[in-house]
């Protein structure tokens, strides 16, 4: 019996064991199934959170490494430093009021209401609280131990030289995007240039090298600033341009601004007047008319013009500021700055040829350089006989100062148009970009007149001994409320040195200078802009490698000056 019972129980036991195994397998299957679902849900939740954070961060990351900006000698003008930006995940904030209280106590400039509104957004995974904080502040916030608050490593743009050359360098916004100047150029039309600077093998970016020399820039800025104070001018500016390569070695526009300041809401006075402003440059523009007449052959150095009477065109009369009431030679028309003689010169050329020449030399179009702040010339709406005559001496014809300087530099460099540039350029690169706009003999005549004007004319106070300076002055009445003002003027001087073979051109501008006792009641350019240019040349010519050459007359002048200085000291 016992064997029969055991034989009966064995199949039953086996069936029970198989059933238990099936249950175990089914349980394991269900467990694995639910575990997989839970894992997937967890991953989706985490990925969704990370996607929100990463998407927000990605929106603020620069598209490529930002290159340093350096001057022609490698002096750093703009660079990046590491900073930290504070963010929060509102979903992880346990006590909003406590978080607001702690954060505003640590960062006083945070607005409590705005901060509370940001933190009360449970649907948001990421909000910025404060961008670009220093390491000390970061450590203080870490020590608060607020859940859901953290930092992102970022880069901040800094400008080691502060205000110096600020208008040229420009600045970036909090997301490191170029807003003005070269910084804007590197993000925009200079994107290809920026890409060519990248060094993939070292994960670095080569610097963008400017044509500017910071030693020269400092000297120009300093002398213009002194002149603005001395002559109580509203504003001032100065430029040094290499006439052979078109390189802008220095450009200072005052008032300027600090690119490191967080709040850069610039006033109209702080704009770059030398590129973004257009002005009637007055008699400086006469140089264009002379070059035009020489190049068309309607005038030469032996030509004469009757300036005894005012020039009448319709109901208008053109007078001279310093009337000579005589027949003047071309040289006298230039050195005496005769409006009548210059207007007659333009009328001989003719209206169509006048416009053709202005178009040829680039004065009818906006000047394009790497700096985006550039204004288009303001021209007469209708080129009548009167418009042509007045435009000949700078009346009713406004251009940006850099454009005016560039054109006149082309007239004295041998007659080749060389596009101005803020980037360092080789002579070979300049030659490939240049083209002739006036004949070599026209350029030779212009050099002669420029030097003569400093020796005998309105530019005499620019005669820096040893450097053979030449130039042309301009004093233009400003348009105030639609009318020309008799007591508000713009004083300018465009010059070059050394005149036998010019290497550098200079521009100086003073906006609304006042007359001083030492200027005998005059506020014209010869009494303010010209001596300012002389001081600049004295300082920068040695920096630029221009060797002074002294004639016997120069040595006599130096001896006389030294004697006078010694007498003054003894007295």
Q: What is the mean pLDDT of residues 220-227?
A: 98
Q: What is the mean pLDDT of residues 360-375?
A: 95
Is 13 within a domain? Answer: no
Give CA 227 to chain center in angstroms.
22
3 state SS of 377: coil
Q: Are residues 194 and 227 in the same domain?
A: no
Q: Are residues 203 and 224 in the same domain?
A: no
Is 497 within a domain? Answer: yes
Q: What is the pLDDT of residues 181-200, one digit of tens each?
A: 999 999 876 666 665 666 65
Contact 109, 169 (CB under 8 A): no
Q: Are residues 391 and 364 in the same domain?
A: yes
At 472, the pLDDT band (50, 70, 90 cuts) reads very high
Alpha-carbon Rg of the chain, whole angstroms? 36
Q: pLDDT value at position 47?
A: 40
At 534, the pLDDT band (50, 70, 90 cuts) reads very high
Q: Is the pLDDT of residue 59 over 70?
A: no
Contact 338, 305 (CB under 8 A): yes
DSSP label of 247:
B
- Look up the domain containing 496 and give its range: 216-254+272-563
Which of 491, 494, 539, 507 lies closest to 231, judged by CA?
491
- What's the CA gap between 515 and 524, in Å, rounded? 8
At 22, the pLDDT band (50, 70, 90 cuts) reads low
Pairing of strands 208-209, 69-70: parallel
Q: pLDDT value at position 13?
A: 44
Q: What is the mean pLDDT of residues 292-315?
A: 97
User: Which of 60, 88, 113 is the C-terminal boundary of a domain?
Assistant: 60
Q: Are residues 230 and 183 in the same domain?
A: no
User: Which of 175, 194, 209 is the C-terminal boundary of a domain?
Assistant: 209
Contact 454, 495 (CB under 8 A): yes
Q: Are residues 231 and 189 in the same domain?
A: no
At 42, the pLDDT band (50, 70, 90 cuts) reads very low
Q: pLDDT value at position 55?
A: 54
Cis peptide before 498 (omega within 30 of 0): yes
DSSP label of 300:
-
CA dihedral (416, 417, 422, 427) positive or negative: negative
User: Which of 155, 177, 209 is the C-terminal boundary of a domain?
Assistant: 209
| Least confident residue range of 284-288, 378-382, 416-420, 509-513 | 378-382
Q: Are residues 196 and 222 in the same domain?
A: no
Count of structural domains within the chain: 3
Q: Which residue has the tokens 């420029």?
A: 450
Q: Is the pLDDT of residue 404 over 50?
A: yes
Is 2 within a domain? Answer: no
Q: In this structure, what token pair is assigned to residue 276?
A: 């973004």
More confident: 468 or 196: 468
Neighbours of 216 (CB within 10 A): 22
Q: pLDDT value at position 133?
A: 85
Is 263 within a domain? Answer: no
Q: Are residues 188 and 316 in the same domain?
A: no
Q: Is the pLDDT of residue 132 over 90?
A: no
Q: pLDDT value at position 131?
A: 86
Is 220 within a domain? Answer: yes
3 state SS of 150: strand
**286-296 vs 339-349: helix axis angle to the nearest 10?**
40
Cis peptide before 255 (omega within 30 of 0): yes
Is 370 within a domain? Answer: yes
DSSP label of 395:
T
- What's the CA gap between 526 and 531, in Å, rounded? 7
Q: Are residues 311 and 419 in the same domain?
A: yes
Q: Is the pLDDT of residue 325 over 70?
A: yes
> Across all residues in the chain, what is the average pLDDT?
88
Q: What is the mean pLDDT of residues 436-449?
A: 98
Q: pLDDT value at position 46?
A: 40
Q: What is the pLDDT of residues 473-485, one digit of tens each?
A: 999 999 888 888 9
- What's the CA gap between 146 and 110, in Å, rounded? 16
Q: Is the pLDDT of residue 227 over 90?
A: yes
Q: What is the mean pLDDT of residues 524-543?
A: 98
Percent of the chain surpassing pLDDT 70: 86
Neighbours of 63 (CB within 10 A): 10
More confident: 43 or 358: 358
Is 369 within a domain? Answer: yes
Is 265 within a domain? Answer: no
More confident: 514 or 9: 514
Q: Are residues 228 and 159 in the same domain?
A: no
Q: Is the pLDDT of residue 296 over 50?
A: yes
Please report how many Cα atoms fall inside a 13 Å half-sphere around the Cα of residue 333, on the Cβ side: 30
CATH number reported for the structural domain that contains residue 348 in this entry: 3.40.710.10
At 569, the pLDDT band (50, 70, 90 cuts) reads confident
Q: Are residues 107 and 140 in the same domain?
A: yes
- What's the CA gap between 566 and 445, in Å, rounded? 40
- The DSSP line for 407-470 is HHHHHHTTSEE---BSB---HHHHHHH-EE-S-HHHHHHHHHHHHHHHHHSTTGGG--TTS--E
At 265, the pLDDT band (50, 70, 90 cuts) reads confident
CATH number reported for the structural domain that contains residue 86 in this entry: 3.90.1310.10
Which residues are marked as active site?
283
- What's the CA gap between 207 and 425, in Å, rounded? 15
Q: Are residues 181 and 105 in the same domain?
A: yes
Contacts of 209 (CB under 8 A, 6+ apart): 70, 71, 72, 74, 423, 424
Q: What is the mean pLDDT of residues 453-476?
A: 96
Phi first, then psi: give them for residue 298, nearest 5 degrees. Answer: -85, -10
Q: Are residues 221 and 326 in the same domain?
A: yes
CB neighbour burial string for 169-182, b if at least 16 within 10 angstroms, e if fewer: bbbbeeebbbebbb
At 62, the pLDDT band (50, 70, 90 cuts) reads very low
| Least confident residue range of 121-135, 189-203, 344-358, 469-483 | 189-203
């Amino acid at each position: 019996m016992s064997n029969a019972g055991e034989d009966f129980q064995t199949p039953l036991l086996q069936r029970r064991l198989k059933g238990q195994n099936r249950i175990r397998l089914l349980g394991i299957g269900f467990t694995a199934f639910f575990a997989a679902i839970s894992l997937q849900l967890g991953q989706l939740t985490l990925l969704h959170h990370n996607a929100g954070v990463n998407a927000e961060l990605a929106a603020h990351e620069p598209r490529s490494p930002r290159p340093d900006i350096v001057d022609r000698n490698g002096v750093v003008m703009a660079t990046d430093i590491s900073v930290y930006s504070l963010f929060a995940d509102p979903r992880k904030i346990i006590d909003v009021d406590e978080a607001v209280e702690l954060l505003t106590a640590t960062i006083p400039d945070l607005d409590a209401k705005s901060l509370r509104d940001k933190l009360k957004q449970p649907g948001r995974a990421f909000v910025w609280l404060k961008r670009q904080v220093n390491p000390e502040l970061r450590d203080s916030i870490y020590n608060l131990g607020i859940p859901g608050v953290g930092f992102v490593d970022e880069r901040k743009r800094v400008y080691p030289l502060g205000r110096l050359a600020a208008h040229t360098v420009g600045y970036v916004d909090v997301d490191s995007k170029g807003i003005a100047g070269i910084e804007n150029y590197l993000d925009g039309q200079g994107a290809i240039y920026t890409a060519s600077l990248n060094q993939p093998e070292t994960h670095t970016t080569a610097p963008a090298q400017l044509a500017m020399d910071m030693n020269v820039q400092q000297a120009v800025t300093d002398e213009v600033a002194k002149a603005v104070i001395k002559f109580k001018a509203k504003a001032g500016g100065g430029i040094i341009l290499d006439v052979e390569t078109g390189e802008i070695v220095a450009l200072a526009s005052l008032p300027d601004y600090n690119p490191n300041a967080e709040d850069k809401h610039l006033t109209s006075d702080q704009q770059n007047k030398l590129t973004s402003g257009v002005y009637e440059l007055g008699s400086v523009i006469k140089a264009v008319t002379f070059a035009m007449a020489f190049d068309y052959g309607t005038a030469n150095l032996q030509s004469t013009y009757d300036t005894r009477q005012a020039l009448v065109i319709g109901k208008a009369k053109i007078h001279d500021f310093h009337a000579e009431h005589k027949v003047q030679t071309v040289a006298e028309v230039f050195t005496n700055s005769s409006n009548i003689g210059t207007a007659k010169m333009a009328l001989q050329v003719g209206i169509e040829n006048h416009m053709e020449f202005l178009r040829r030399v680039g004065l009818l179009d906006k000047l394009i350089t790497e700096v985006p702040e550039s204004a288009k010339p303001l021209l007469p709406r209708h080129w009548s006989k009167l418009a042509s005559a007045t435009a000949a001496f700078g009346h009713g014809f406004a251009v940006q100062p850099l454009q005016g300087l560039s054109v006149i530099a082309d007239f004295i460099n041998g007659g080749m148009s060389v596009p101005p540039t803020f980037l360092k350029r080789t002579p070979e690169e300049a030659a490939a970009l240049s083209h002739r706009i006036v004949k070599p003999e026209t350029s030779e005549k212009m050099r002669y007149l420029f030097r003569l004007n400093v020796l005998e004319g309105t530019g005499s106070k620019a005669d820096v001994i040893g450097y053979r300076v030449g130039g042309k002055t301009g004093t233009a009445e400003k348009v105030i409320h639609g009318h020309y003002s008799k007591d508000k003027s713009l004083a300018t001087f465009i010059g070059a040195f050394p005149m036998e073979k010019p290497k550098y051109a200079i521009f100086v501008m003073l906006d609304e200078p006042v007359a001083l006792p030492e200027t005998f009641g005059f506020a014209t350019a010869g009494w303010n802009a010209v001596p300012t240019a002389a001081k600049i040349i004295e300082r920068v010519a040695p920096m630029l490698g221009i060797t002074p050459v002294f004639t016997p007359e120069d040595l006599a002048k130096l001896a006389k000056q030294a004697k006078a200085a010694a007498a003054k000291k003894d007295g």
